[in-house]
C-alpha cells in the first residue's frame, strides 16, 4: 500500500483510513464513549517515537481514552467472525474502536485501536469496557514479546478511566491503545464467507495482499497467494512461541492475525516447568490450546481460513479443495523447519546434521521427566552452568550433555561463538507469571507503579544478565502448576 500524502497535526497524528474504504458491511462508524476521569497509567515513549507521535501525547489521557479524538480520526468498529473453541460465531469489535492507521515517518502503516472504549454495534451482551489489570497484562506481555523479537501487536498506553467495570467483582476500568500491523484476522474472512458475498471476499483478499504481502500482489490467483503467505507467517510465528515457551491460551480464529503478529493477549502465559500439556487458561478445560497443541491448532485455524477462501481459489469446487488442502498441509513441514532452525540456535549449533532432531528431543524428554524450568535450562546451558547442578547430575542428562558437546565440537565455529549464539537465542528474562501478578497487584490494588516499571525495564532486555534484574530470572519458589489465567473480558 502506498503512503498517502497526509498532514500531521501538532501531536504527530498522520492518519489514513484504508480500512474505512473497504465495502461498508465490514465496519461500522462508532465513536468512543467518554469516561469519567481519564488518567495516564503508562505511556510507551519509544513506541510513540517510532510511530512519529509527539512525546507530549503522554500528557493527553483524553486522547488515549476516547474522551477526545485526534482531529483526523475516523473511528470505526470492524466486523469479524470466529471459531471459538471450534464453535462458529459472528463477532466483531465489541470492545474496540479503530481510530485510524498511523503512517510513520518511515512510511509504515499501523492501526491505532482503543481497547475498552465503550459500546459498539458488535458489543452483544458485553459492556464494551476493559479492566485495568488485563490491559496492563497485555501491555507487559506484548512489549516482552516485542523485545524477544517475536512479531506482535504493541501497546502505546494504558489510561485508567476512573470508572468501575463489573466482572466477577468490581474492578477499575481502563483503555489500552493497541498498535497493530492490522486487525485483519482469519475471522474477518470467515465473516465475509458466512455472508456469502463474493465481492466482499474479493475486496478483502486484494486489500490484505496489498497491505501485508505487497510483493505477492501481482498474481493470477490472489486467494492462493494470500493463503500461502499467511500459512508461512503462521508457521514462523508459532515456532517462535514454542521456542520461548509462550502459550497464547485462546487461539480462536478471531485471535489469529493475518499479518503474522501475535494478537489478543488474554489468558496467555509463559511456561515455567517444561511440559507440552501445560495450560494456564481457566476455561481451557480440555487443553485444546495447551503449549504443545499450538502448531496443530494453528493449522486447524488455517484450514478455516482456506475454507473461507474456497470460492476464490478455483472455479471448480473440487479443484479448490485440493488447492486449499495442499496449501494448509504445507504448514507442518514449514513449522518443523522453523522449529529446527530455532532450536539449533538455542543449542548453539550453526550447521545441520541429520541427528539434530533426536538430540533436541533427548533434551526435551529429560526436561519433561525432571520438570526442569524451560527458560532456565536453555539459559544455563548457554552459560555452561547447568551441568554442575544437582538436577543435571543423573546419567540421562550427563549422556545427553556428552552427545551435545561432541556435536558442538563437529562444527567449525568455536565454543565461544556457539555460546554467544545461545546467549542471544535463549532469554534470561521472560514475563514470569508470579512476577507479572505481583506487578499487576501493586498497580491495581495499591496504585503503586514501581514494580510494573521495574519489570518492564527487565523485560525490555531479555537477553542481558543484568545484576539489577537477577530476581526476574528466577522461576517461582515452588512449581506453579496451579497458576490460572483469565480471559480478561
Q: What residues act catalytically?
A: 254
Q: Does 255 bind Mg ion (CB under 5 A)?
A: yes
Q: Least Å distance between CB 255 and Mg ion? A: 5
Contact 245, 343 (CB under 8 A): no
Part of the chain binding Mg ion (CB under 5 A), chosen from 44-52, 203-211, 259-267, 340-348: 259-267
What does the DSSP assignment read for 120-154? -TT-TTS-S-EEHHHHHHHHHHHHHHHHTT--B-E
Instruction: Residue 128: name its binding partner from Mg ion, ligand AMP, none (Cβ under 5 to 8 Å by kind).
Output: ligand AMP
Residues 66/71/73/74 CA torsion (nearest 10 deg): 100
Contact 332, 402 (CB under 8 A): no
Nearest Cα neighbor of 99 from 110, 90, 84 is: 110
Q: Cα separation of 154 and 47, whole Å? A: 8
Subset of 198-257 contacting ligand AMP (CB under 6 A): 254-255
What does the DSSP assignment read for 66-101? TSS--TT---EEE--EEEETTEEEE---SSEEEEEE
Task: Report CA 256 to chain centroid distance, whole Å.
Answer: 9
Nearest Cα neighbor of 426 from 302, 309, 343 is: 343
Q: Which is nearer to ligand AMP, 49 or 123 (CB)?
A: 123
Q: Least Å distance between CB 94 and ligand AMP? A: 2
Contact 430, 144 (CB under 8 A): yes
Nearest Cα neighbor of 372 from 393, 357, 354, 353 is: 393
Binding mask 258-277 for ligand AMP (x = CB under 6 A): ------x-x-----------
Q: Least Å distance between CB 34 and ligand AMP? A: 17
Q: Least Å distance between CB 116 and ligand AMP? A: 8
Q: Least Å distance between CB 60 and ligand AMP? A: 25
Q: Cα separation of 200 and 24, whole Å? A: 9
Nearest Cα neighbor of 291 from 303, 279, 299 is: 279
Instruction: Residue 266: name its binding partner from Mg ion, ligand AMP, none (Cβ under 5 to 8 Å by kind).
Output: ligand AMP
Q: In this chain, which of 16, 93, 228, 272 binds ligand AMP, going by CB under 6 A? A: 93
Task: Report CA 190 to chain centroid distance, whole Å.
Answer: 20
If you search the block for the grid coordinates 499450538, which residue do you land on? Answer: 294
Q: Which is nearer to ligand AMP, 38 or 128 (CB)?
A: 128
Part of the chain binding ligand AMP (CB under 6 A), chosen from 87-95, 101-109, 135-143, 391-399: 87-95
Instruction: Residue 489: name its binding partner from ligand AMP, Mg ion, none (Cβ under 5 to 8 Å by kind).
Output: ligand AMP
Q: Does 264 bind Mg ion (CB under 5 A)?
A: yes
Instruction: Residue 105: name its binding partner from Mg ion, ligand AMP, none (Cβ under 5 to 8 Å by kind).
Output: none
Q: 3-class SS at 46?
A: helix
Instruction: Residue 129: name its binding partner from ligand AMP, Mg ion, none (Cβ under 5 to 8 Å by kind).
Output: ligand AMP
Q: In this chain, which of 14, 17, 83, 95 binds ligand AMP, going by CB under 6 A? A: 95
Q: Which is nearer to ligand AMP, 161 or 334 (CB)?
A: 161
Q: In this chain, which of 23, 34, 94, 342 binds ligand AMP, going by CB under 6 A? A: 94
Residue 201 buriedness (CB in 10 A; 0-12 / 13-18 / 19+): buried
Part of the chain binding Mg ion (CB under 5 A), chosen from 138-146, 220-228, 260-268, 383-391: 260-268
Q: Least Å distance between CB 96 and ligand AMP? A: 6
Cβ neighbour number for residue 34 with a 10 Å cutoff: 14
Q: Which is nearer to Mg ion, 152 or 255 (CB)?
A: 255
Subset of 110-139 contacting ligand AMP (CB under 6 A): 123, 126-129
Q: Which residues pair with 177 in a beta bridge?
A: 114, 157
Cβ neighbour number for residue 373 with a 10 Å cutoff: 22
Instruction: Residue 487: name its binding partner from Mg ion, ligand AMP, none (Cβ under 5 to 8 Å by kind).
Output: ligand AMP
Residue 333: partners with Cβ closer than 8 Å, 6 or more residues away: none
Q: Which is nearer to Mg ion, 217 or 487 (CB)?
A: 487
Q: Least Å distance between CB 80 and Mg ion? A: 9
Q: Which is nearer to ligand AMP, 266 or 348 (CB)?
A: 266
Size of the site for ligand AMP (CB under 6 A): 16
Q: Cα separation of 320 and 230, whole Å? A: 17
Q: Does 91 bind ligand AMP (CB under 6 A)?
A: yes
For helices 356-370 and 395-409, give the axis angle rounded to 10 degrees: 150
Q: Which is nearer to ligand AMP, 167 or 454 (CB)?
A: 167
Q: Least Å distance between CB 161 and Mg ion? A: 20
Contact 254, 186 (CB under 8 A): yes
Give the interface with Mg ion as residue ranges (CB under 5 A).
254-255, 264
Give the interface with ligand AMP as residue ranges (CB under 6 A).
91-95, 123, 126-129, 254-255, 264, 266, 487, 489
Amino acid at each position: 500500500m502506498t503512503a498517502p500524502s497526509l498532514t500531521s497535526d501538532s501531536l504527530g497524528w498522520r492518519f489514513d483510513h484504508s480500512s474505512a474504504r473497504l465495502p461498508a458491511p465490514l465496519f461500522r462508524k462508532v465513536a468512543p464513549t467518554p469516561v469519567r476521569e481519564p488518567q495516564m497509567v503508562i505511556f510507551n515513549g519509544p513506541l510513540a517515537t517510532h510511530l512519529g507521535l509527539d512525546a507530549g501525547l503522554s500528557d493527553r489521557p483524553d486522547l488515549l481514552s476516547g474522551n477526545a479524538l485526534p482531529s483526523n480520526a475516523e473511528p470505526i468498529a470492524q466486523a469479524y467472525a470466529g471459531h471459538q473453541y471450534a464453535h462458529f460465531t459472528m463477532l466483531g469489535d465489541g470492545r474496540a474502536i479503530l481510530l485510524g492507521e498511523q503512517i510513520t515517518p518511515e512510511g509504515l502503516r499501523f492501526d491505532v485501536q482503543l481497547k475498552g472504549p465503550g459500546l459498539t454495534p458488535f458489543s452483544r451482551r458485553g459492556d464494551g469496557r476493559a479492566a485495568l489489570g488485563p490491559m496492563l497484562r497485555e501491555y507487559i506481555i506484548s512489549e516482552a514479546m516485542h523485545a524477544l523479537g517475536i512479531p506482535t501487536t504493541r501497546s502505546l498506553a494504558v489510561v485508567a478511566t476512573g470508572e468501575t467495570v463489573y466482572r466477577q467483582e468490581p474492578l477499575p476500568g481502563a483503555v489500552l491503545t493497541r498498535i497493530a500491523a492490522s486487525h485483519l484476522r482469519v475471522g474477518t474472512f470467515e465473516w465475509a464467507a458466512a455472508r456469502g458475498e463474493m465481492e466482499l471476499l474479493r475486496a478483502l483478499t486484494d486489500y490484505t495482499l496489498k497491505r501485508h504481502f505487497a510483493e505477492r500482489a501481482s498474481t493470477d490467483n490472489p486467494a492462493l497467494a494470500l493463503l500461502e503467505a499467511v500459512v508461512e507467517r503462521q508457521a514462523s510465528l508459532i515456532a517462535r512461541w514454542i521456542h520461548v515457551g509462550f502459550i497464547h491460551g485462546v487461539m480462536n480464529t478471531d485471535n489469529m492475525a493475518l499479518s503474522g503478529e501475535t494478537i489478543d493477549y488474554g489468558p496467555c502465559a509463559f511456561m515455567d516447568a517444561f511440559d507440552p500439556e501445560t495450560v494456564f487458561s481457566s476455561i481451557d478445560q480440555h487443553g485444546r490450546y495447551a503449549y504443545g497443541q499450538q502448531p496443530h491448532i494453528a493449522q486447524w485455524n488455517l484450514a478455516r481460513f482456506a475454507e473461507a477462501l474456497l470460492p476464490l481459489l478455483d472455479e471448480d469446487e473440487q479443484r479448490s479443495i485440493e488447492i486449499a488442502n495442499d496449501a494448509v498441509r504445507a504448514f507442518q513441514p514449514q513449522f518443523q523447519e522453523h522449529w529446527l532452525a530455532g532450536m539449533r540456535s538455542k543449542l548453539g549449533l550453526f550447521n545441520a546434521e541429520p541427528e539434530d532432531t533426536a538430540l533436541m528431543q533427548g533434551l526435551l524428554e529429560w526436561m519433561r521427566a525432571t520438570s526442569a524450568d524451560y527458560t532456565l535450562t536453555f539459559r544455563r546451558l548457554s552459560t555452561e552452568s547447568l551441568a554442575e547442578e544437582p538436577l543435571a547430575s543423573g546419567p540421562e542428562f550427563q549422556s545427553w550433555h556428552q552427545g551435545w558437546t561432541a556435536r558442538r565440537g563437529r562444527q567449525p565455529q568455536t565454543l565461544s561463538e556457539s555460546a554467544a549464539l545461545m546467549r542471544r537465542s535463549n532469554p534470561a528474562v521472560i514475563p514470569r507469571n508470579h512476577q507479572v501478578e505481583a506487578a499487576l497487584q501493586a498497580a491495581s490494588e495499591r496504585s503503586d507503579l514501581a514494580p510494573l516499571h521495574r519489570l518492564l525495564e527487565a523485560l525490555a532486555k531479555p537477553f542481558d544478565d543484568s545484576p539489577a534484574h537477577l530476581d526476574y530470572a528466577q522461576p517461582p519458589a515452588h512449581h506453579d502448576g496451579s497458576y490460572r489465567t483469565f480471559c480478561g473480558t
